[in-house]
Structure 1
Amino acid sequence: MPAGTRERSLEAAVELLGAEGVRALSHARVDGRAGLSPGSTSNWFRTRRALLAGIVDWIAEQERADFDPSALPVISGVEELIEGLCTMLEVQTGPLAARTRARYALFLELSDDPELGEPLRRQRHEFERWTERMVAAVGIADPEPAARAVMALGDGLMLHRLTVDPNLELRPAVDRAVRALAAG
């Protein structure tokens, strides 16, 4: 089924944010990028703030769907954790790079806006808890700080791939970090 105008607007807005940043975001530019008639995006999102809120919610929905733990393989060993993390980072910096850039741009833009930034922070906390469960499942002690370390490494690797070196090899850093955490 073809996407409706709301979904097309949101997809285009994320692409625009990911390619050109928050300052490039306007209803007219989203309409143009989505191939919609003028005013289509503003029919769904009357103000820039409403559009930002829609984008934040849409990104969170998409990420929950893409990385739904019940649809992913069960991680039971260190090697599987390393492989799973590398795969997730590859996807976030490859096919989903525009969305990842958009998410980072929104984190920065909305850091001082508790209301609009809350869904992003809530989504981040969900991923932290998910990562804690994976880290605990492979027997890494102190799963909360270990998960935060893994996520910080992931953020750094994604940022590096998105801004400096798109071909950065992920596995050596992920392997070293996870094995160090597993060794205690």
Structure 2
Amino acid sequence: MRPFHRLLLCSMFAGLAGCVPWPHRYLTAPRITGTVVKAGQPVAGAHIQLADVMDASGEMASSARKQEVVTDAQGHFTVGPIRRFAWSAHVPVLTVTQNTVPWGLRLSTDGQSFRAGWLSDPTLFGEVLSVPIVATCDLNAASKSSVIEGYKFLVGNGPCTLAAESKK
């Protein structure tokens, strides 16, 4: 067998085995739709930030990617998802979808001073959900620990409650 054919054959087997780096985008923060309220009334013009790397105090890391939106007249918003580009080998049999999830939401009524809306616990493992998340954020509520409804391993804290959107 010629050297070129051997190289081609080896490359083909390596590619099939998933040992060759391949460009792809991976999910670092989910798509979130939600409503911001205060004393039961919708809050128009609230600024919502979704960031894919935050610390426990709600500050974004310098390497964080973020998206910012403003709520409409009914207090509704949609933000995300956030994806990052990577070159990596993808081995379907060995791929684990769990990774640390230090993403979170931040809220502001003036666009300047942000507070934590919901911060995932960066010390736990879990997946970034590929299904949309529904958030209800009450500006009068105290920060509390909560899970994303239906996903006990996705723990976070803040005045927003999150639930995975049910498939229709």
TM-score, normalised to structure 2's length?
0.25
TM-score, normalization by structure 1:
0.23
Higher normalized strand content (fraction of residues): 2
